[in-house]
């Protein structure tokens, strides 16, 4: 496994792989890897000849009062896990390497970037779209792998790829959960034991919304009220949003009959967690 830190080294190793006729899969991450990340790596391994994983805690997607400085960084353990998975290349640039002094070009996917997490975290998706566009330009992957866990991110990036004609296929992988249902997240390690218990409420709220939708409830208002009621039972949980939206535009839906994304975000203590599920799927 090659570990490269500069843009030019990344380009060189990818060029070598291409010269061998290999297809390239890219898995963008911020490190602190868990089974959710590794599921993306395995999906990439299964459908591409060579896999590049980027590890970069991207400052432009964090707000001024967010956890950029204390975001977990576990580079050695991450590389060991990626080596075990048979990853070909780890691209781990410094902030200065990714954002050369004076960089002033950003990718704004208007509309969708202001919804869900984009509404709660202004500027977040501008940072995400910009860094992913840069990674696409540096690595030039055939396919890029993202988790359904970050459903709003998926909507933003799919639209960016369409709007800007990136020759990349976006592959979305299912949410990987802890045995009790909590969606895996690098931020789960911030939770105290009591918060960790109460964090299950996000999953339970979505399960309740799914149960009602399956039983024939189609009104988004009713489903949201039921989800919020589950979240309200836990004193350490403060809801940021609980919504039912169109999975592509992230606009609110009144009714889930055509299929909908149910998405929740909540602070558990000081830690903001997200989760989601698809409702009303006709399969």
- How near is the Cβ of 154 to ligand AMP at its closest, in Å? 8
Q: Which is nearer to ligand AMP, 16 or 178 (CB)?
A: 178
- The residue of the chain with the least Cβ separation from ligand AMP equals 147
CA distance 136 to 271: 30
Q: Which is nearer to ligand AMP, 248 or 255 (CB)?
A: 248
Please check whether residue 158 is in contact with residue 125, taking contact to mean a CB–CB distance below 8 angstroms. Answer: no
CA distance 41 to 258: 32
Tokens of 19: 């010269």
Contacting ligand AMP (CB under 6 A), which of 183, 201, 202, 244?
183
Q: Is 36 in the site for ligand AMP (CB under 6 A)?
A: yes
Q: Is position 34 annotated as part of the catalytic site?
A: no
Q: Collapse the DSSP code of 166 into the 3-class scheme (helix H, G, I; strand E, B; otherwise coil) and give the result.
A: coil
# of chain residues touching ligand AMP (CB under 6 A): 17
CA distance 90 to 53: 5
- How near is the Cβ of 44 to ligand AMP at its closest, in Å? 11
59, 3, 15, 20 alpha-carbon torsion, rounded to 10°: -140
Q: Is 61 in the site for ligand AMP (CB under 6 A)?
A: no
DSSP 143: E
Q: Is 159 in the site for ligand AMP (CB under 6 A)?
A: no
Helix axes 200-214, 220-232, angle to 10 degrees: 150
Q: Is 173 in the site for ligand AMP (CB under 6 A)?
A: yes
Q: Provide the binding-site residues for ligand AMP, judged by CB under 6 A.
A: 29-30, 36-37, 39-40, 146-147, 149-150, 173, 175-176, 183-186
């Amino acid at each position: 496994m090659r570990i490269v830190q500069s843009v030019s080294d990344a380009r060189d190793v990818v060029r070598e792989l291409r010269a061998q006729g290999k297809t390239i899969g890219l898995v963008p991450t911020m490190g602190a890897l868990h089974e959710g990340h590794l599921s993306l790596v395995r999906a990439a391994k299964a459908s591409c000849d060579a896999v590049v994983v980027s590890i970069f805690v991207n400052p432009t997607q964090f707000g001024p009062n967010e956890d950029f400085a204390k975001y977990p960084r576990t580079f050695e353990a991450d590389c060991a896990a990626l080596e075990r998975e048979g990853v070909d290349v780890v691209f781990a640039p410094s902030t200065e390497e990714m954002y050369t002094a004076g960089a002033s070009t950003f990718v704004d996917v208007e509309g969708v970037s202001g919804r869900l997490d984009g509404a709660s975290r202004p500027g977040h998706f501008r940072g995400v779209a910009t860094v992913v566009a840069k990674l696409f330009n540096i690595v030039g992957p055939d396919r890029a792998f993202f988790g359904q866990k970050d459903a709003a991110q998926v909507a933003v990036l799919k639209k960016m790829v369409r709007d800007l004609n990136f020759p990349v296929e976006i592959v979305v992988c299912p949410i990987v959960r802890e045995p009790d249902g909590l969606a895996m997240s690098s931020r789960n390690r911030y939770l105290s034991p009591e918060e960790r218990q109460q964090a299950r409420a996000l999953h339970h709220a979505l399960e309740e919304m799914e149960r009602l939708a399956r039983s024939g409830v189609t009104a988004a208002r009713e489903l949201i009220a039921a989800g919020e009621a589950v979240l309200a039972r836990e004193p350490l949980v403060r809801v940021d949003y609980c919504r039912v939206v169109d999975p592509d535009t992230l606009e609110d839906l009144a009714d889930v009959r055509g299929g909908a994304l149910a998405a929740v975000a909540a602070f558990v203590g000081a830690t903001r967690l997200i989760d989601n599920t698809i409702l009303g799927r006709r399969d």
